[in-house]
Structure 1
Amino acid sequence: MSDLQYHVDGELVSAASATVSVRDRGFQYGDAVFETLRVYGGEVFRWEAHADRLAGSTEVLALEHGLSNAELKRRVDETLAANDFADASVKLSITRGVQQGKLTPDPEIDPTVVVQATPLPRGGVEGEPVWDEPATLQTVKTRRIPDEALPSRAKTHNYLNGILARLELRVSDADEAVMLDGDGHLAEGATSNLFFVDGDALCTPSLDGPVLPGITRAAVLDVAEAEEIPVREGAFTPDDLRNAEEAFVTNSTWEVRPVETVDGISVGGGPVTTLLRRVFDARIEREYYRSDVDGDADSADNDGPDT
């Protein structure tokens, strides 16, 4: 992977020579936004949804970069083509650019735009998950930043909240942190959305709390609706998750990842997680690899994961 190509400010450059200024506000203050994109068969999963979320992040930061969604997508596609990646993870970052070293940003900006790509295994029915084992979760003391301080819908380069949460895992065998809001309710993982099954319902923390509106989260809820699985979005406690019949976490890279334990308590997967993973994979197979899938749920013929 020494010959990887990144896209930096409109130009393809080798990963070894890809740099940004030490005066860039993304470096100095985390004054930047980003999206992590999953690519299947050369196509970005739910690009429109990612573009909308990116626009929401820039709106929160008043970061008027002046680039159209079409131009951003062109740079992503050029990066994939330059690396000959059909299946990959892509990080698209936009910073406020280089300015004088003061906290208050200048109104006029020359944004820094960087596209990085990393190869991943094939997705869909014929693919393999990027994770080796089900997730092990640990509830941490680090609380999710309240929306009144930093809106959760803004996906910024300042990821210290999640980093502090992950640092707490060093004293445990867990590989994902469960973060709570200020009232002690479930919010999200450090890099994932939380789901669990209670009775006959699929439960997930509501976006009314400090929860990032995950793109894969929304795709899973689409599948649940198509499969007529009752869904409850609301405020839940750590005990609700610990006592769940089954649980899983989602993000663009993990897709649907079953949970094995929560705070050392066995939870495990189950029929709902298995069904959601199967239908999700079938949709990816049909929409992105153009392959017919035999024996999958009828809902796999419904609208695919693109919006």
Structure 2
Amino acid sequence: MQYHVNGDLVDADDATVSVRDRGFQYGDAAFETLRAYGGQVFAWSAHQRRLEATCDALSLDHDLSGRDLRERVHETLAANGLAEAAVRLTITRGESSGLTPTDDADPTVVVVAEPLPRGGLDGERVWDAPATARTVDAQHVPEATVPAVAKTHNRLDGVLARIDAGDADEAITFDADGHVTEGTTSNVFFVDDGVLHTPSLDLPVHPGITRWAVTELADDLDIPVEEGHYRPEDLRGADELFLTNTTWEVRPVAHLDGATYDTCKVGVRLARAFADVVEASHY
């Protein structure tokens, strides 16, 4: 495999960054996880906007255009012969000493790609079975501490939540008031009496690209959507529960704590609609 490091394609074994890099030392970095279908990135414009929102939140000026970043992603895909892949695009503030950022730091830009199955109508799921999930005591980082829009390298809250979740596929986290926020790497949806619910973005909820796509598709399919503040008992008492992220797309949940979900009718409709969009856009 070859990765893209600071403008150059290098062998994976030689793809390194400095131990003084602020992304390593302090988590001072922005990243996006992308999905490539048929050699092209899905929803690039939305990912680019979210990456820039993270950089703005961090006051991280990388001075690279969206076109330049996209070219690096496509060069990485081409170098590895990958048409179907998961891609991680990272921008750190670069090297500097001390906690306070300096103006002379040179940003580090890394692109890593890994193969994934084909998407769309003829695609294969990247997960083997519906997910198991567990609510955990670990709280989501408050908005006042790190803006929810910011996807940074500082993921210790998610690491601790996954440790608490044990062998479950995903951990469901809450804010300080006990409202459901999201999974550690996913957005949460549940269906109750035919209405699709998801935690509101006025909570510390990351604005997932697949979350956005699913809510748009639900509107197209005349599925009522409500965003709100929910408690864990709302999830446990729901008719169905599913998770969304870039790699899973739409993944139903079979078990949450002691609750079991036997069907995922609305989730299946949305998963099919999502596959239709991917098929039409990329194949």
TM range (shorter): over 0.9
- In 2, distance between residues paired with 1:130 and 1:268? 21
Aligned to 1:148: 144
Say which of 186, 192, 197 aligns to 2:186.
Answer: 192
Counterpart of 1:52, as a letter, is: R
Confirm whether residue 160 of structure 1 aligns to residue 160 of structure 2: no
Say which of 85, 90, 94 aligns to 2:91.
Answer: 94
- In angstroms, what is the RMSD of aligned CA positions? 0.7
Aligned to 1:24: 21
Counterpart of 1:120, as a letter, is: L
* Bigger mean CA offset, 106-115 vs 260-269: 260-269
- In 2, distance between residues paired with 1:278 and 1:23? 46
Query: Any idea what SS the aligned residue of 2:139 has?
Result: coil
Aligned to 1:33: 30
Q: Unpaired runs of 5+ in structure 1?
A: 290-307
Q: Unpaired runs of 5+ in structure 2?
A: none
Aligned to 2:122: 126
The answer to whether the Cα contact below 8 Å between 2:135 and 2:165 also exists between their aligned partners in 1 is no
Aligned to 2:107: 111
Aligned to 1:47: 44
Query: Any idea what SS the aligned residue of 2:138 has?
Result: coil
Query: 1:264, CA displacement in angstroms?
Result: 2.6
- In 1, distance between residues paired with 2:19 and 2:258? 43
- In 2, distance between residues paired with 1:19 and 1:245? 47
TM-score, with normalisation over the residues of structure 1? 0.91
Say which of 169, 183, 189 aligns to 2:165.
Answer: 169
Query: 1:73, CA displacement in angstroms?
Result: 0.4
Query: 1:109, CA displacement in angstroms?
Result: 2.3
Aligned to 1:78: 75
* Bigger mean CA offset, 264-273 vs 192-201: 264-273
- In 2, distance between residues paired with 1:258 and 1:268? 10
Query: Any idea what SS the aligned residue of 1:233 has?
Result: strand
- In 1, distance between residues paired with 2:179 and 2:146? 18
Q: Deviations over 1:109-150 (max 9, x none)?
A: 210000000000001110111000101110000000110111
The answer to whether the Cα contact below 8 Å between 2:189 and 2:196 also exists between their aligned partners in 1 is yes
- In 1, distance between residues paired with 2:191 and 2:250? 14
Aligned to 2:173: 179
- In 2, distance between residues paired with 1:268 and 1:80? 38
Confirm whether residue 8 of structure 1 aligns to residue 5 of structure 2: yes
Length, aligned pairs only:
283
Counterpart of 1:174, as a letter, is: A
* Bigger mean CA offset, 262-271 vs 138-147: 262-271
Query: 1:203, CA displacement in angstroms?
Result: 0.1
% identity of equivalent residues: 57
Query: Any idea what SS the aligned residue of 1:141 has?
Result: strand
Aligned to 1:246: 240
Query: 1:200, CA displacement in angstroms?
Result: 2.1
Aligned to 1:284: 278
Query: 1:107, CA displacement in angstroms?
Result: 2.0
- In 2, distance between residues paired with 1:278 and 1:105? 46
Aligned to 2:199: 205
Query: 1:42, CA displacement in angstroms?
Result: 0.5
Moved over 6 A (4+): none
The answer to whether the Cα contact below 8 Å between 1:65 and 1:96 also exists between their aligned partners in 2 is yes
- In 2, distance between residues paired with 1:138 and 1:36? 23
The answer to whether the Cα contact below 8 Å between 2:133 and 2:165 also exists between their aligned partners in 1 is no
Counterpart of 1:133, as a letter, is: A
The answer to whether the Cα contact below 8 Å between 1:196 and 1:248 also exists between their aligned partners in 2 is yes
Query: Any idea what SS the aligned residue of 2:64 has?
Result: coil
TM-score, with normalisation over the residues of structure 2? 0.99
Query: Any idea what SS the aligned residue of 1:218 has?
Result: helix
Counterpart of 2:126, as a letter, is: V
